[in-house]
């Protein structure tokens, strides 16, 4: 092109001038005031938002990525996902590609072509080229984009294989993992939090005033304070007056799905006790023999066959007499996911547990029976409460609208309360409430921190201004402004409680770890923890059957806690308190049941594969994170913040997904 321009000497200046004019017009068009990336169809916007080496990421690339994930989630953007995260994921893809190519592991044209044929070959063994171009253009913008992505995927596979080649898991590590996962504990604990300790701290008057004098500006009121008198309508009291005929309750019952009419499931069990530790292997084998006789090719057994086996083999006399059936239908408790009978919930009707279940030192065989429905009569009371609450809400809302209109007319909350008291099923005294001087974010008595209530107060600036009827705790409030104070530094007495809270929190955080150490020093055994915790005013409890990755009551969960519990013997107490987020936790092992190794060989390969896969993923992720940091330092990664900011400003809010994330989604964010 340049040689041609050189030969056409007379026209060169004209061409260059024309090109300059075209660029100027383009700049005016694209960067005119008021125009931004949000005014252009994102899927057609080629503006560069980031570069990774020689690869550019455009606004359209991010938009297509967003559309793809929205399709996976049924048309809604998943909570937590935004354009910045999508861009981050695209950058990571090109970092992987760059590293693969640097190590000579990039995808060749032949490999890409072979993968295209493999992925797109129809049942006839042929690839429809035109259909292929059309589909790839719709999803990736053009075929080249798709094949670049495909090449990146192949390169990632090769890089993963290269980095994972030396990763291994020893037999000793597999056995230790099995022991950790299958050892159970009865754990007694105390969970110490600053707020619990703060309640016991009482600062002196001198401390309070001294702290306030040195922190006055911390308590400055930056917004006006408003004193509100409001008419309150309680939805429950309104609803309690409503008459709900049985016909309405029956119609409500009939509309419910089967899952809401379930009292639980029938479960049959066979219990085999382990009299002595040296007999455990024999009992385990006996249980396996029973299972083998009961289960058909589909893993099921008839109710009659299981009943006969339970009567002849089960060592639980109560259930054995009843054909192995538990006395009551079992209703799953989500807070106890590792309970014995919780395992039957995910089984199909007629299924028998495929291996003996070791629980509490004994062995169980379970059979899942039919679901037990709740009859209309059994559900009548809860249906009545539910329907009354819903109708009460609607009636109370309509009443609140009328009360609002009346309050705007009279400017007298007491008069409005008297007018509506009988209809609201309340006394006038119950209906009229008053706040102190409050500002946005304050905790309001009987209401709490309520953004809707705060929004209703925002337009109230003159005494006797009336706000909109607003939903609050237990009902509706119609607010009226009584008084207003402008922003200022408050007097000490106005913030005395807040000053005291600040001192208490500061001291409690400083003293919390030492308090935990003092409690440990006073303990003689794990049996003392629960009572000591209650006496000291901290959360405490006994968690039975605790296993790795479980939640230890109010103490929480975490790998540090799991390790501490596993490393203790029965009868021991943690020598030092354990830090879990903002808590200090003391633990004691009341009972420890080490893993039954009888099933280890059957689980060995599965555990090893899981550990190997996790370790390989970690090695790969650590490598890519290091490569990305290196490329940032070298200037190989550039993000154009102005373009990204435009993207973020134009980004729609994420919508919550019914049922959580779509199944099978694999979207690494690093």
3-state secondary structure 155-201: HHHHHHHHHHCCCCCCHHHHHHHHHHHHCEEEEEEEEECHHHHHCCC
Ranking 247-256, 432-441, 607-616 by mean pLDDT, the lowest is 247-256
Q: What is the mean pLDDT of residues 328-339?
A: 79
- pLDDT value of residue 311: 94
Rounded CA-CA distance 182/327 in Å is: 29
- Residue 493, pLDDT > 50, answer yes
Helix-helix angle 376-410:246-255, to 10 degrees: 110
User: Could you give the CA distance from residue 400 to residue 235 in angstroms, rounded to a whole number?
Assistant: 10
Tens of pLDDT, residues 89-119: 899 999 999 999 999 998 898 888 888 877 6
Name the nearest CA neighbour of 314 among 256, 281, 352, 273: 273
Give residue-wise pLDDT tens across range 158-186.
999 999 998 999 999 999 999 999 999 99
pLDDT, residue 651, reads: 58
Q: Which of 189, 171, 185 is nearest to 549 (CA)?
A: 185
Strand order in the sheet with 475-485: 432-438, 225-234, 475-485, 470-472
* pLDDT above 70: residue 80: no
pLDDT at 23: 41
Closest of 568, 538, 532 to residue 553, by C-alpha = 538
Digit-coded pLDDT (tens) for 340-361 = 898 888 899 999 999 999 888 8
> 35 pLDDT exceeds 80?
no
CA distance 290 to 278: 20
Identify the residue with better confidence: 32 or 608: 608
Residues contacting 81, CB < 8 A, separation 6+: 69, 654
Q: What is the spatial distance between Cα 82 and Cα 147, in angstroms, rounded to a whole number? A: 25
For range 363-385, the mean pLDDT: 88
- Rounded to the nearest integer, the mean pLDDT of the chain is 85
Q: Is the pLDDT of residue 132 over 90?
A: no
Q: How far is CA 276 from CA 272, 281, 629, in A?
A: 12, 10, 58
Q: What is the pLDDT of residue 125?
A: 56
Nearest CA to 592 out of 277, 178, 176, 183 is that of 183
Residues 79, 64: Cα–Cα separation, whole Å: 18
pLDDT at 468: 95
User: What is the average per-residue pLDDT within 278-294?
Assistant: 91
pLDDT value of residue 668? 35
Range 72-90 average pLDDT: 71
303 and 371 Cβ atoms separated by less than 8 Å = no
Question: If pLDDT is split at 50, 70 and 90, which confidence band does 13 have?
Answer: very low
- Please, how many CA atoms are within 13 Å of residue 210, restricted to the half-sphere of its CB? 6
- In this predicted model, what pLDDT tens digit does every residue of 502-518 receive, in sequence order? 999 999 999 999 999 99
- Give the DSSP per-residue string, 267-297: EEEEEE--SSGGGHHHHHHHHHHHHHHH--T
Find all residues with CB under 8 Å of 149, minimum gap 6, and list them. 93, 140
């Amino acid at each position: 092109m340049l040689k041609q321009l050189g030969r056409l000497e007379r026209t060169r200046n004209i061409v260059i001038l024309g090109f300059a004019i075209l660029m100027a017009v383009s700049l005016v068009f694209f960067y005119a005031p008021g125009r931004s990336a949000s005014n252009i169809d994102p899927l057609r916007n080629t503006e560069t938002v980031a570069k990774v080496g020689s690869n550019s990421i455009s606004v359209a690339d991010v938009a297509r990525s967003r559309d793809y994930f929205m399709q996976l989630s049924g048309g809604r953007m998943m909570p937590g996902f935004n354009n910045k995260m999508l861009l981050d994921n695209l950058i990571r893809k090109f970092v992987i590609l760059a590293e693969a190519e640097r190590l000579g592991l990039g995808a060749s044209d032949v490999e890409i072509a072979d993968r295209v044929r493999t992925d797109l070959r129809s049942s006839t063994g042929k690839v429809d080229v035109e259909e292929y171009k059309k589909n790839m253009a719709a999803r990736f913008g053009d075929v080249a984009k798709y094949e670049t992505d495909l090449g990146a995927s192949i390169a990632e596979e090769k890089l993963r294989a290269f980095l994972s080649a030396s990763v291994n898991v020893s037999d000793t590590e597999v056995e230790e993992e099995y022991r950790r996962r299958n050892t159970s504990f009865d754990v007694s604990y105390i969970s110490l939090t600053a707020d619990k300790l703060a309640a016991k701290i009482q600062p002196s008057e001198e401390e309070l005033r001294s702290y306030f004098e040195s922190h006055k500006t911390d308590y400055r009121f930056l917004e006006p304070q408003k004193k509100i008198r409001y008419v309150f309508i309680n939805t429950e009291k309104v609803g309690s007056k409503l008459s709900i005929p049985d016909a309405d309750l029956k119609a409500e019952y009939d509309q419910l799905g089967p899952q809401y009419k379930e009292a639980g499931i029938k479960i049959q069990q066979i219990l085999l006790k382990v009299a002595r530790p040296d007999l455990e292997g024999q009992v385990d084998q006996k249980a396996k023999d029973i299972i083998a006789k009961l289960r058909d090719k589909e893993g099921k057994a008839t109710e009659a066959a299981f009943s006969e086996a339970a009567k002849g083999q089960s060592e639980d006399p109560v259930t054995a007499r009843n054909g192995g059936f538990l006395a009551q239908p079992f209703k799953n408790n989500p807070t106890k996911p590792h309970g014995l009978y919780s395992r039957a919930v995910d089984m199909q009707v007629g299924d028998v547990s495929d291996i003996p279940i070791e629980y509490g030192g004994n062995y169980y065989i379970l059979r899942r029976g039919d679901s037990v429905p709740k009859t209309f009569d059994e559900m009548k009371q809860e249906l009545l409460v539910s329907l009354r609450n819903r109708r009460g809400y609607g009636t109370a809302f309509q009443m609140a609208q009328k009360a609002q209109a009346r309050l705007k007319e009279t400017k007298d909350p007491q008069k409005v309360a008297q007018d509506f008291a009988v209809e609201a099923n309340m006394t006038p005294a119950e209906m009229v409430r008053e706040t102190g001087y409050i500002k946005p974010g304050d905790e309001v008595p009987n209401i709490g921190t309520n953004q809707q209530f705060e929004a209703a107060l925002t337009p109230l600036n003159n005494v006797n201004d009336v706000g909109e009827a607003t939903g609050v705790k237990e009902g509706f409030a119609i607010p009226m402004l009584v008084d207003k104070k402008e922003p200022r530094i408050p007097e000490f007495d106005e913030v005395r409680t807040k000053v005291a809270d600040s001192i208490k929190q500061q001291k409690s955080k400083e003293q919390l770890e030492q308090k935990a150490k003092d409690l440990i020093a006073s303990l003689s055994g794990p049996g003392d923890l629960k009572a000591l915790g209650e006496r000291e005013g901290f959360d405490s409890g006994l968690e039975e059957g605790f296993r790795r990755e479980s939640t230890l009551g109010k103490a929480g969960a975490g790998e540090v806690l799991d390790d501490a519990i596993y490393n203790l013997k029965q009868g021991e107490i943690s020598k030092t308190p354990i830090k879990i987020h903002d808590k200090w936790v003391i633990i004691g092992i009341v009972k420890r049941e080490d893993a039954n190794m009888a099933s280890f060989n059957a689980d060995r390969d599965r555990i090893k594969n899981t550990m190997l896969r996790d370790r390989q993923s970690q090695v790969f992720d650590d490598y890519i994170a290091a490569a990305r940091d290196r490329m940032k330092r070298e200037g190989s990664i550039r993000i154009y913040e102005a373009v990204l900011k435009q993207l973020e400003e134009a980004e729609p809010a994420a919508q919550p997904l019914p049922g959580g994330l779509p199944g099978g989604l694999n979207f690494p964010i690093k």
